[in-house]
Amino acid sequence: MYIVGIDIAKKSHQAAIMKPDGTLVGRSFRFTNTKQGFEFLMDKLSAVDSSLENFEFGMEATGHYWLNLYTWLADKHAIVHVINPLQSDALRNLYIRKTKTDSVDAKIIAQVIRIGQYSETKLADDRMLMMRDLCRQRFFLVDMVANLKRKIIVMMDRIFPEYQGFFSDTFGKSSTAILKHCTTPEEITLFGEDNLAQLLQVASNGKFGLKKAQELISLARN
Protein backbone atom coordinates (compact mmCIF):
# COMPACT_ATOMS: atom_id res chain seq x y z
CA MET A 1 0.00 0.00 0.00
CA TYR A 2 1.49 3.33 -1.08
CA ILE A 3 1.06 6.36 1.18
CA VAL A 4 0.50 9.82 -0.28
CA GLY A 5 1.33 12.65 2.10
CA ILE A 6 -0.21 15.95 1.05
CA ASP A 7 0.79 19.34 2.45
CA ILE A 8 -2.28 21.57 2.11
CA ALA A 9 -2.12 25.22 1.06
CA LYS A 10 -4.55 27.78 -0.33
CA LYS A 11 -3.81 27.69 -4.06
CA SER A 12 -1.69 24.57 -4.46
CA HIS A 13 -0.73 21.44 -2.54
CA GLN A 14 2.51 19.45 -2.30
CA ALA A 15 2.42 15.65 -2.46
CA ALA A 16 4.93 12.92 -1.69
CA ILE A 17 4.41 9.23 -2.50
CA MET A 18 5.95 6.80 -0.03
CA LYS A 19 6.39 3.03 -0.07
CA PRO A 20 5.47 0.93 3.02
CA ASP A 21 9.17 0.74 3.95
CA GLY A 22 9.44 4.53 4.13
CA THR A 23 11.31 5.15 0.90
CA LEU A 24 9.99 7.77 -1.50
CA VAL A 25 8.76 7.13 -5.02
CA GLY A 26 10.46 9.85 -7.04
CA ARG A 27 10.42 13.47 -5.93
CA SER A 28 7.56 15.32 -4.30
CA PHE A 29 5.42 17.38 -6.66
CA ARG A 30 3.04 20.31 -6.57
CA PHE A 31 -0.52 20.40 -7.92
CA THR A 32 -3.12 23.19 -7.92
CA ASN A 33 -6.24 23.27 -5.77
CA THR A 34 -8.47 22.83 -8.85
CA LYS A 35 -10.10 20.00 -10.74
CA GLN A 36 -7.24 20.09 -13.25
CA GLY A 37 -4.76 19.89 -10.38
CA PHE A 38 -6.58 16.91 -8.85
CA GLU A 39 -6.54 15.14 -12.23
CA PHE A 40 -2.80 15.82 -12.45
CA LEU A 41 -2.46 14.11 -9.05
CA MET A 42 -4.33 11.08 -10.40
CA ASP A 43 -2.03 10.94 -13.42
CA LYS A 44 0.99 10.94 -11.13
CA LEU A 45 -0.48 8.10 -9.08
CA SER A 46 -1.45 6.10 -12.15
CA ALA A 47 2.17 6.15 -13.26
CA VAL A 48 3.02 4.34 -10.00
CA ASP A 49 0.00 2.00 -9.77
CA SER A 50 -3.14 1.86 -11.90
CA SER A 51 -5.44 1.07 -8.95
CA LEU A 52 -6.47 3.85 -6.55
CA GLU A 53 -7.21 1.15 -3.96
CA ASN A 54 -3.46 0.70 -3.50
CA PHE A 55 -3.02 4.22 -2.11
CA GLU A 56 -3.70 5.78 1.27
CA PHE A 57 -3.87 9.56 1.52
CA GLY A 58 -2.88 11.70 4.50
CA MET A 59 -3.48 15.43 4.93
CA GLU A 60 -3.72 17.94 7.76
CA ALA A 61 -6.94 19.79 8.60
CA THR A 62 -5.53 23.20 7.62
CA GLY A 63 -8.28 25.82 7.67
CA HIS A 64 -10.87 24.93 5.03
CA TYR A 65 -8.43 24.48 2.13
CA TRP A 66 -8.33 20.70 2.46
CA LEU A 67 -12.08 20.21 2.03
CA ASN A 68 -12.19 20.34 -1.77
CA LEU A 69 -9.48 17.73 -2.21
CA TYR A 70 -10.87 15.57 0.58
CA THR A 71 -14.39 15.45 -0.87
CA TRP A 72 -13.01 14.84 -4.37
CA LEU A 73 -11.00 11.85 -3.15
CA ALA A 74 -13.87 10.61 -0.95
CA ASP A 75 -16.18 10.58 -3.96
CA LYS A 76 -13.70 8.21 -5.60
CA HIS A 77 -13.86 5.99 -2.48
CA ALA A 78 -10.20 6.61 -1.71
CA ILE A 79 -8.78 5.97 1.77
CA VAL A 80 -8.16 9.43 3.24
CA HIS A 81 -6.80 10.18 6.70
CA VAL A 82 -7.32 13.72 7.99
CA ILE A 83 -5.14 14.51 10.99
CA ASN A 84 -4.71 17.46 13.30
CA PRO A 85 -1.54 19.48 12.49
CA LEU A 86 -0.44 19.10 16.13
CA GLN A 87 -0.08 15.36 15.58
CA SER A 88 2.58 15.85 12.91
CA ASP A 89 4.43 18.62 14.77
CA ALA A 90 6.35 16.19 16.96
CA LEU A 91 7.85 14.46 13.94
CA ARG A 92 8.24 17.79 12.17
CA ASN A 93 10.47 19.06 15.01
CA LEU A 94 12.97 16.30 14.30
CA TYR A 95 13.82 18.00 11.03
CA ILE A 96 16.21 20.91 11.62
CA ARG A 97 15.33 23.65 9.16
CA LYS A 98 15.12 27.40 9.31
CA THR A 99 12.12 27.81 7.02
CA LYS A 100 9.00 25.83 6.20
CA THR A 101 9.56 23.45 3.28
CA ASP A 102 6.45 22.09 1.64
CA SER A 103 8.22 19.04 0.19
CA VAL A 104 9.50 18.04 3.64
CA ASP A 105 6.07 18.59 5.19
CA ALA A 106 4.47 16.29 2.62
CA LYS A 107 7.03 13.58 3.54
CA ILE A 108 6.39 14.09 7.26
CA ILE A 109 2.63 13.66 6.80
CA ALA A 110 3.26 10.45 4.84
CA GLN A 111 5.55 9.21 7.65
CA VAL A 112 2.88 9.96 10.28
CA ILE A 113 0.39 7.84 8.33
CA ARG A 114 2.95 5.08 7.78
CA ILE A 115 3.90 4.91 11.46
CA GLY A 116 0.26 4.99 12.46
CA GLN A 117 0.73 7.28 15.47
CA TYR A 118 -2.25 9.53 14.83
CA SER A 119 -5.96 9.79 15.43
CA GLU A 120 -8.48 10.66 12.75
CA THR A 121 -10.06 14.11 12.81
CA LYS A 122 -13.80 13.74 13.21
CA LEU A 123 -15.47 15.04 10.07
CA ALA A 124 -19.02 16.32 9.74
CA ASP A 125 -21.18 15.16 6.84
CA ASP A 126 -22.18 17.50 4.01
CA ARG A 127 -25.47 18.51 5.64
CA MET A 128 -23.74 19.45 8.89
CA LEU A 129 -21.06 21.42 7.02
CA MET A 130 -23.75 23.33 5.15
CA MET A 131 -25.60 24.05 8.40
CA ARG A 132 -22.38 25.29 10.00
CA ASP A 133 -21.69 27.63 7.07
CA LEU A 134 -25.28 28.93 7.11
CA CYS A 135 -25.05 29.65 10.85
CA ARG A 136 -21.76 31.48 10.40
CA GLN A 137 -23.25 33.53 7.57
CA ARG A 138 -26.26 34.41 9.71
CA PHE A 139 -24.05 35.57 12.60
CA PHE A 140 -22.03 37.67 10.12
CA LEU A 141 -25.18 39.32 8.76
CA VAL A 142 -26.60 39.96 12.23
CA ASP A 143 -23.34 41.64 13.29
CA MET A 144 -23.24 43.67 10.09
CA VAL A 145 -26.81 44.91 10.61
CA ALA A 146 -26.05 45.82 14.23
CA ASN A 147 -22.96 47.79 13.17
CA LEU A 148 -24.92 49.67 10.50
CA LYS A 149 -27.64 50.56 13.01
CA ARG A 150 -25.04 51.92 15.44
CA LYS A 151 -23.56 54.09 12.69
CA ILE A 152 -27.00 55.43 11.74
CA ILE A 153 -27.78 56.29 15.38
CA VAL A 154 -24.47 58.16 15.70
CA MET A 155 -25.23 60.19 12.58
CA MET A 156 -28.80 60.93 13.71
CA ASP A 157 -27.48 62.09 17.10
CA ARG A 158 -25.36 64.64 15.25
CA ILE A 159 -27.87 65.98 12.71
CA PHE A 160 -31.26 65.36 14.38
CA PRO A 161 -30.93 64.31 18.07
CA GLU A 162 -34.63 65.04 18.69
CA TYR A 163 -35.51 62.12 16.40
CA GLN A 164 -34.36 59.60 19.00
CA GLY A 165 -37.39 58.41 20.96
CA PHE A 166 -39.94 59.86 18.55
CA PHE A 167 -40.74 56.31 17.46
CA SER A 168 -40.64 53.33 19.78
CA ASP A 169 -38.31 51.68 17.27
CA THR A 170 -35.99 53.85 15.21
CA PHE A 171 -35.68 51.00 12.72
CA GLY A 172 -39.36 50.07 12.62
CA LYS A 173 -41.45 50.36 9.44
CA SER A 174 -42.73 53.89 10.07
CA SER A 175 -39.34 55.31 10.98
CA THR A 176 -37.43 53.64 8.16
CA ALA A 177 -40.07 54.77 5.66
CA ILE A 178 -39.35 58.38 6.67
CA LEU A 179 -35.57 57.97 6.70
CA LYS A 180 -35.67 56.55 3.18
CA HIS A 181 -37.18 59.84 1.95
CA CYS A 182 -35.82 62.35 4.46
CA THR A 183 -32.44 62.04 6.11
CA THR A 184 -32.18 65.53 7.64
CA PRO A 185 -34.55 67.84 9.57
CA GLU A 186 -34.53 70.23 6.60
CA GLU A 187 -35.73 67.51 4.24
CA ILE A 188 -38.54 66.58 6.65
CA THR A 189 -39.86 70.16 6.77
CA LEU A 190 -39.65 70.48 2.99
CA PHE A 191 -41.42 67.15 2.49
CA GLY A 192 -44.63 68.72 3.81
CA GLU A 193 -47.34 67.67 6.26
CA ASP A 194 -49.62 65.99 3.73
CA ASN A 195 -46.89 63.90 2.10
CA LEU A 196 -45.47 62.97 5.49
CA ALA A 197 -48.90 62.05 6.87
CA GLN A 198 -49.66 59.85 3.85
CA LEU A 199 -46.27 58.15 4.15
CA LEU A 200 -46.80 57.46 7.84
CA GLN A 201 -50.34 56.19 7.35
CA VAL A 202 -49.24 53.63 4.76
CA ALA A 203 -46.15 52.51 6.69
CA SER A 204 -47.99 52.17 10.02
CA ASN A 205 -51.13 50.56 8.54
CA GLY A 206 -53.24 53.52 9.69
CA LYS A 207 -51.79 53.84 13.19
CA PHE A 208 -50.15 57.22 12.43
CA GLY A 209 -51.34 60.11 10.29
CA LEU A 210 -51.49 63.88 10.18
CA LYS A 211 -50.99 64.44 13.92
CA LYS A 212 -47.78 62.38 14.00
CA ALA A 213 -46.56 64.21 10.88
CA GLN A 214 -47.16 67.60 12.48
CA GLU A 215 -45.32 66.56 15.65
CA LEU A 216 -42.32 65.39 13.63
CA ILE A 217 -42.19 68.57 11.56
CA SER A 218 -42.34 70.60 14.77
CA LEU A 219 -39.32 68.72 16.10
CA ALA A 220 -37.48 69.17 12.81
CA ARG A 221 -38.04 72.95 12.84
CA ASN A 222 -36.62 73.20 16.35
> Which domain CATH number covers 15?
3.30.420.40
98 shares a domain with 12 = yes
103 shares a domain with 87 = yes
pLDDT at 96: 44
Q: What is d(CA 22, CA 12) in angstroms, rounded to the nearest whole number?
A: 24
Residue 88 has pLDDT above 60, yes or no: no
139 shares a domain with 169 = yes
Residue 104 has pLDDT above 90, yes or no: no
114 shares a domain with 32 = yes
213 shares a domain with 134 = yes
29 shares a domain with 74 = yes
Domain termination residue (choose one: 106, 123, 140): 123
Question: How far from 65 is each of 9, 34, 138, 211, CA to CA, in Å?
Answer: 6, 11, 22, 60
132 shares a domain with 87 = no
115 shares a domain with 133 = no
pLDDT interval class at 133 (50, 70, 90): confident
154 shares a domain with 214 = yes
Residue 99 has pLDDT above 70, yes or no: no
Closest CA to 208 of 165, 174, 173, 158: 174
CB atoms under 10 Å from CB of 58, counted, come to: 26
Domain termination residue (choose one: 100, 123, 146): 123
Domain termination residue (choose one: 123, 152, 167): 123
Write out the residue range of the structural domain in which residue 59 sits: 2-123
79 shares a domain with 109 = yes
- The answer to whether the predicted template modeling score (pTM) of the entire model surpasses 0.75 is no
Query: Looking at the 3D structure of the chain, how many domains does it have?
Result: 2
Q: Are strands 2-7 and 79-83 parallel, antiparallel or unpaired?
A: unpaired
166 shares a domain with 89 = no
Q: Which of 63-67, 93-97, 113-117 has the lowest mean pLDDT?
A: 93-97
189 shares a domain with 151 = yes
pLDDT at 51: 93
